Amino acid sequence: MTPFGTRLAQAIEERGRFCVGIDPHAALLKEWGLDDDVASLERFALTVVEAVAPVVSVVKPQSAFYERFGSRGIAVLERVIAESRAAGALVLLDVKRGDIGSTSQAYADAYLDPTSPLASDAITASPYLGFGSLDPMVDACHQHGAGLFVLALTSNKEGPEVQRAQTGGGTVAGAMLDHLRHLNAGATPVGSFGAVVGATIGDHDEDLDINGPFLVPGYGAQGGTTADLARIFGTSARWALPSSSREVLQAGPDVTALRDAALRGTSAVQELGV
């Protein structure tokens, strides 16, 4: 199969680098005048898909907001994934899974094997049981042309306790970036193994030239700006996917308003000029 990095580069060329999070949490359901139940979850999520999946390069459903409704919520997530991909968007499923051995393999089978009803173009993963614990997911990406975005420098205030801790002459985050750099070596136009790096992380000394993409949460309503993208990523910003949820979703439930908000986000990122 065509590698995720190749498909992502094509999607960026055609639709830009803005990523829309499809996060139906209770507060947003209320803002839309909806109840906090499965029927409202379905209406919310599929309205967002209708609005944005035909125009943005990547959508990012956060699995937890569907899981909280049990099996019926997961059924809605399956539709979000399938209908987003059918509309031409790449689906980056935000699950942040990380485990060892057969459990890690089961996560790979669930989210990256194209025969699974939850199969996505890429997922997020946590490497903090050791990067090698992700090997089943890495292997699945090679086999199925999927992508993996590994937590590296996240925006949450607790992140530095682990990510910026020193190990072997560098930081833990730096070691994760080194692993990704190795996985992406020689890939063109860009590798399939990315890092999650927040838009509000402040100053850092890490080498972000990993020949791979970046998922950049914290953009928009959470305070991250295009100036932050330029500052944090430098020339690597061309592969950064700033992700926004609330800034787009609060424009609903009108489909046209949602689509316009997504297109404004795309235009703002394009103005970065890298």
Catalytic residues: 96
Alpha-carbon dihedral sign for residues 132, 66, 68, 162: positive
Are 242 and 216 in contact, with CB atoms under 8 Å apart?
A: yes
Number of Cβ within a 10 Å radius of residue 250 = 15
Alpha-carbon dihedral sign for residues 23, 26, 29, 30: negative
SS3 annotation, 7-47: HHHHHHHHHCCCEEEECCCHHHHHHCCCCCCHHHHHHHHHH
- Please tell me the distance from the alpha carbon of residue 214 to that of residue 237, in angstroms, as a whole number: 8
Q: Is the peptide bond before 253 cis (omega within 30 degrees of 0)?
A: yes
Partner residues linked to 261 by β-bridges: none
Which tokens go with 212?
Answer: 């791979």
Q: Is the peptide bond before 242 cis (omega within 30 degrees of 0)?
A: no
Please choose, from the candidates 87, 138, 90, the residue with its C-alpha nearest in 3D space to the C-alpha of residue 112. 138
